[in-house]
């Protein structure tokens, strides 16, 4: 299945007439307000994880580990809107959630590396978020793949995390770090298989591999939060010893 082939909404769909996104996942769209049920309702995993993180976090500052809670909820809500509608407007919401997540991760990394203060990192995060949305519309107008924006930020995040892993080693344990990456690799495998003729079952609205991607990445958020809680705990201990 070619993800670049985006069919129009099903006959009688309430989303008829809306601009189409630039990607289509395996699940066939229904002519209802929830166009792709499996891919839509699976986003509740992000919301559940976000609430769970928020309730258990040792700090609720936006750029603390606990900040991943509301970010996860935002990812769930925005992805829900996209898969329910399969419109470009919904895709903008979906990418806004991804930009929030990647910006949060990059801002955290810049704090940990000592490059930015928390205030500076918050400004960086917001600037990157709105700049990314502007780039999305510019890429759309130029006919370029908007996924490139996410890929560039993901690669920047990977490079920063690799540097922190080699140079900083600021976590008491890296078990959750590797678990997070293992879950993300499994999730990406599901995302890729969802676009193959071998695994795609478009009319199965109970289970889709893209829905499994949602659940696995939500589980990776839990592992990421545990890792960042350890980082924050060590940083607080170091600050206390230095005072």
Q: Has residue 10 been placed in a domain?
A: no
Q: What are the residues whose beta carbons fall under 8 Å from the beta carbon of 189, sequence distance 6 or more?
A: none
d(CA 26, CA 24): 7
d(CA 194, CA 158): 24
Structural domain including 196 reads: 37-242
CB 178: neighbour CB atoms within 10 A? 12
Q: Has residue 16 been placed in a domain?
A: no
Q: For the segment 174-196, what is each residue's pLDDT rounded down to a tens digit?
A: 999 999 999 999 999 999 999 99
Q: For the segment 50-92, what is each residue's pLDDT rounded down to a tens digit?
A: 999 999 999 999 999 999 999 999 999 999 999 999 999 999 9
Angle, helices 209-242 vs 44-56, to 10°: value is 20
* Residue whose structure tokens are 């990421």: 224
Q: Has residue 57 been placed in a domain?
A: yes
What average pLDDT does this structure show over 12-30?
95
Q: Has residue 129 been placed in a domain?
A: yes
Q: Has residue 11 been placed in a domain?
A: no
CB 54: neighbour CB atoms within 10 A? 17
Tokens of residue 74, six digits: 């935002």
Domain count, the chain: 1
Q: Has residue 204 been placed in a domain?
A: yes
Q: Has residue 8 been placed in a domain?
A: no
Q: Has residue 188 been placed in a domain?
A: yes
CA dihedral 89, 91, 92, 98 (to 10 degrees): 160
Q: CATH number of the domain at 47, please.
A: 1.20.1070.10
């Amino acid at each position: 299945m070619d993800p670049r082939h985006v069919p129009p909404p099903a006959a009688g769909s309430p989303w008829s007439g809306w601009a189409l996104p630039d990607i289509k996942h395996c699940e066939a769209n229904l002519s209802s307000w929830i166009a792709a049920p499996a891919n839509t309702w699976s986003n509740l995993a992000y919301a559940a994880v976000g609430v769970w993180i928020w309730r258990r976090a040792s700090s609720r500052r936006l750029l603390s580990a606990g900040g991943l809670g509301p970010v996860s909820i935002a990812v769930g809500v925005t992805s829900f809107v996209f898969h329910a509608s399969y419109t470009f407007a919904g895709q903008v919401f979906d990418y806004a959630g991804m930009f929030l997540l990647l910006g949060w991760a990059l801002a955290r990394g810049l704090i940990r590396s000592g490059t930015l203060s928390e205030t500076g990192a918050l400004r960086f995060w917001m600037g990157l978020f709105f700049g990314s949305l502007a780039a999305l519309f510019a890429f759309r107008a130029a006919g370029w793949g908007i996924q490139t924006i996410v890929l560039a930020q993901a690669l920047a995040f990977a490079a920063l995390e690799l540097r922190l892993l080699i140079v900083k080693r600021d976590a008491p344990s890296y078990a959750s770090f590797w678990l997070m990456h293992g879950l993300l690799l499994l999730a990406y495998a599901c995302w890729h298989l969802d676009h193959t003729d071998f695994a795609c079952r478009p009319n199965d609205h109970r289970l889709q591999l893209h829905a499994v991607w949602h659940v696995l990445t939500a589980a990776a958020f839990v592992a990421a939060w545990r890792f960042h809680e350890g980082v924050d705990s060590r940083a607080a201990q170091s600050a206390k010893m230095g005072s």
